[in-house]
Amino acid sequence: MRISSRWWVAPVLIAVASPVAAQGSGDWTTYGGNDWNQRYSTLKRITPANVSQLGVRKIYQTGISKLGSFENTPIVQNGVMYVTTPYNTAMAYDLNTNKELWRYEHKLGTTITCCGPNNRGVAIHGGAHVYMGTLDAHLVALDAKTGKVVWDKEVGDPAFGYSITHAPLIIGDNVIVGVSGGEYGIRGHVTAYNAMSGDQVWRWYSIPAPKGDPTYDEKAPNGWWGTWAAKAEAHDLHRDIAKEKADSAKYADAWKVGGGGVWMTPAYDKELNSIFVAVGNPSPDLDGGIRPGDNLYTDAVVSIDATTGKTRWYYQTVPHDVWDLDAVSPPVVVNVGGKKAVVHAGKTAWVYVLDAATGKLIRKSDNFTPQENMFALPSEKGTRMLPGANGGAEWSPIAVDPTLGYAFVAGLHQPMNYITHTAPYEKGKLWLGSAFVAIPGEEQYGLYSAVDLKTGKIAWQNKVPQPMMGGALATATGLTFTGEGNGNFNAYNSKTGKLLWQFNGGAGCNSAPMTFMHGGEQFIAVACGGNFQLSYPLGDAVLVFGLPKRAMAKR
């Protein structure tokens, strides 16, 4: 009998093509569930058949004194859960005893945040150190066992607008972190630090410099001015390119304060050795007149070489953005139709599927929330435009079921007028924020959608009463979980979208959930602590759900 010499090829290929399996041990050791950010678990104890029996098994009440948007996804490793809260308290809980092992309260210096005092979580390296980015733009390494500070680096000067809100990413012996502050005239960046020493390994700038500058980026030969794109794919951006070009000499240094924050944890692919980041809005946010050009790499998904920190490719979703429709939701790597792709759910209400090797657009999905007057310019009386400034999809991470080829997206529908006049004028209450003004009386709601990545079609959608901000989780048993601002935490059938279970957590469940194994049981955890931007009820608890013990005993 001849045995094929290639029988070993398939398993090797699958191993090479798959991300590092964080769920092999039942732990959840990265913000996105695995390096690819898929938020997809291979755990199989909780199924569509028994999910209706889920109940609260533990509540970790963090007891923080100052509440704010609670956007954390817990990390679980070796029987310990690590949680971060608004205003940068980190804590560790022993899952056996449910007791708090340690607590670290970062002493914040000057801070500046557009969108709440949030923190989305830690990264863990080798089980030894835990890393947290802070609102005053520090990266802090803590001893995983004691919570003592091992090192503390200033990543950016908070007085100049820099802050950090996302969970860092570990790649080998490096810890990777980006900065927020695109509203405040920063020049955004992503930096790799040595996990043990805190020494900087490389820094990549999200705003490319012109030729002659030491940080010149070869992938943007015309600097941040780009190619003067008049359109975003087929959509007219209504730019006055001639005026922008005429003004470009006057605003030659605008790139130095061009914005481009990195709000969320990047994805990493080991085979390509690439980091994929989503870059936020240019600065200033509204006044595009003083930042002519495409404003690269704002509003883009970018591939960065994980060893050198050099740009590989970029795909800009909205050149010269004046609508705050920036790229926020973290990129996700997934195999789509046999090709490795990077997927991003935009504020634009499209899911972009990009070739992971080249950045070329494979397809753009159908819109997952309503669109009207895309890229319309504002007017004094107001131009109705959808999506509004929150999207689409805001920072909420998507989850992907690679077996179905679906991406699960938490979306917002907020009809708004794009207006150049604040109306009515009230003394002391001038509106400085977004140019989008909610239209009184018009319904706002959320849409939880399954997007078929192979076709771009919407497989199913569920409408919920409020615009969604939080994120998704998918499991191998065909379940997807997400939370709502009214406190509902939901489980749906991944294939059909049927609601199978719901629990109300009290405060808004506006964070991305996760799942883990402990003591032979599978649990689902979500932080239910509300959201500052959308005024959802605030709280301080992480809820952990599991099947009843008797259900476990019967198995």
Partner 1 sequence: MAVTRMSWLVLLLVVGGLTGAAWSRQASPRHWLGVNGADWRRMDPDVRLAYVEGFLAGAALSQAAAGARDSADVRQTIEQLSREGRLRFVYGANVYSSRISDFYWWKDHVPLPTWHAFLEVNTALGRPIADTLP
Per the omega criterion (within 30 degrees of 0), is the bond before 284 cis?
yes
Residue 219: exposed, middle, or buried by beta-carbon count in 10 A (0-12, 13-18, 19+)? middle
Interface with partner 1 includes 290 (CB under 8 A)?
yes
Which residues in 125-140 are b (16+ Cβ under 10 Å) and which e?
beeebbbbbbbbbbbb
Interface with partner 1 includes 20 (CB under 8 A)?
no
- Supply the DSSP symbol for 378: P
Residue 49 or 430: the one with the smaller Cβ distance to partner 1 is: 430
Interface with partner 1 includes 426 (CB under 8 A)?
no
Interface with partner 1 (CB under 8 A), residue from 250, 339, 360, 457: 250
Residue 193 or 418: the one with the smaller Cβ distance to partner 1 is: 418
Region binding partner 1 by CB under 8 A among candidate stretches 106-114, 212-220, 230-238, 500-508: 106-114
Interface with partner 1 (CB under 8 A), residue from 218, 253, 426, 443: 253
Contacts of 357 (CB under 8 A, 6+ apart): 272, 340
Interface with partner 1 includes 416 (CB under 8 A)?
no
Region binding partner 1 by CB under 8 A among candidate stretches 251-259, 354-362, 496-504, 526-534: 251-259
Residue 89 or 482: the one with the smaller Cβ distance to partner 1 is: 89
Interface with partner 1 (CB under 8 A), residue from 96, 420, 455, 496: 420
Interface with partner 1 (CB under 8 A), residue from 27, 71, 285, 452: 285
Give the separation between CA 493 and CA 182, rounded to whole angstroms: 38
SS3 210: coil
Interface with partner 1 includes 185 (CB under 8 A)?
yes
Interface with partner 1 (CB under 8 A), residue from 92, 254, 356, 472: 254
Q: How many CB atoms lie within 10 A of CB 204?
A: 25
| 474 torsion bin: left (phi>0), alpha (psi -120 to 50), beta (else) | beta
SS3 of 42-62: the string is CCCCCCCCCHHHCEEEEEEEC
3-state helix, strand and coil shares in percent for the chain, rounded to the nearest 5: 5, 35, 55
Site for partner 1 in 350-389 (CB under 8 A): 380
Interface with partner 1 includes 431 (CB under 8 A)?
yes
- Site size for partner 1 (CB under 8 A): 34
Interface with partner 1 includes 202 (CB under 8 A)?
no
Interface with partner 1 includes 283 (CB under 8 A)?
yes
C-beta of 388: minimal distance to partner 1 in Å? 17
Interface with partner 1 (CB under 8 A), residue from 1, 3, 432, 553: 432
Residue 228 or 251: the one with the smaller Cβ distance to partner 1 is: 251
Residue 250 or 498: the one with the smaller Cβ distance to partner 1 is: 250
Nearest-CA neighbor of 114 among 168, 184, 166? Answer: 184
Quick check: 512 and 472 in contact, CB under 8 A? yes
Kindly tell me the sign of the dihedral angle through the C-alpha atoms of 452, 456, 461, 463: positive
User: Reading across the β-sheet that carries 416-418, which strands appear in turn?
Assistant: 383-385, 416-418, 436-438
Region binding partner 1 by CB under 8 A among candidate stretches 94-102, 172-180, 285-293, 364-372: 285-293
Interface with partner 1 includes 112 (CB under 8 A)?
yes
Interface with partner 1 includes 257 (CB under 8 A)?
yes
Interface with partner 1 includes 56 (CB under 8 A)?
no
Can you point out the beta strands (E) in 376-434? 383-385, 399-401, 406-413, 416-418
Interface with partner 1 includes 535 (CB under 8 A)?
no
Interface with partner 1 (CB under 8 A), residue from 363, 421, 454, 495: 421
Interface with partner 1 includes 244 (CB under 8 A)?
no
Site for partner 1 in 126-165 (CB under 8 A): 157, 159-161
The Cα diameter of the chain in Å comes to 89
Site for partner 1 in 23-52 (CB under 8 A): none
Region binding partner 1 by CB under 8 A among candidate stretches 26-34, 63-71, 415-423, 507-515: 415-423
C-beta of 182: minimal distance to partner 1 in Å? 9
Interface with partner 1 (CB under 8 A), residue from 147, 284, 331, 397: 284
Per the omega criterion (within 30 degrees of 0), is the bond before 387 cis?
yes
Quick check: 323 and 346 in contact, CB under 8 A? no
Half-sphere exposure of 540 (CA within 13 A, CB side): 14
Interface with partner 1 includes 511 (CB under 8 A)?
no
Residue 554 φ/ψ, nearest 5 degrees: -70, -25
Interface with partner 1 includes 9 (CB under 8 A)?
no
Residue 384 or 421: the one with the smaller Cβ distance to partner 1 is: 421
Region binding partner 1 by CB under 8 A among candidate stretches 109-117, 217-225, 463-471, 542-550: 109-117
Interface with partner 1 includes 246 (CB under 8 A)?
no
324 belongs to the catalytic site: yes
Per the omega criterion (within 30 degrees of 0), is the bond before 392 cis?
yes
Interface with partner 1 includes 170 (CB under 8 A)?
no
Quick check: 401 and 480 in contact, CB under 8 A? yes
Q: Which one is catalytic: 35, 136, 324, 540?
A: 324
C-beta of 246: minimal distance to partner 1 in Å? 14
The CA-to-CA distance between both ends of the chain, in Å, stands at 42
Contacts of 206 (CB under 8 A, 6+ apart): 178, 187, 188, 189, 190, 260, 261, 262, 277, 279, 297, 298, 302
Q: What is the DSSP string of 73-135?
A: --EEETTEEEEE-TTSEEEEEETTT--EEEEEE----S---SS-S-----EEETTTEEEEE-T
Region binding partner 1 by CB under 8 A among candidate stretches 1-9, 46-54, 328-336, 431-439: 431-439
C-beta of 257: minimal distance to partner 1 in Å? 5
Q: Indicate which residues carry an active-site annotation.
A: 324
Binding site for partner 1 (CB under 8 A): 109-110, 112, 157, 159-161, 183-186, 250-251, 253-254, 257, 259, 283-287, 290, 380, 420-423, 425, 430-433, 435
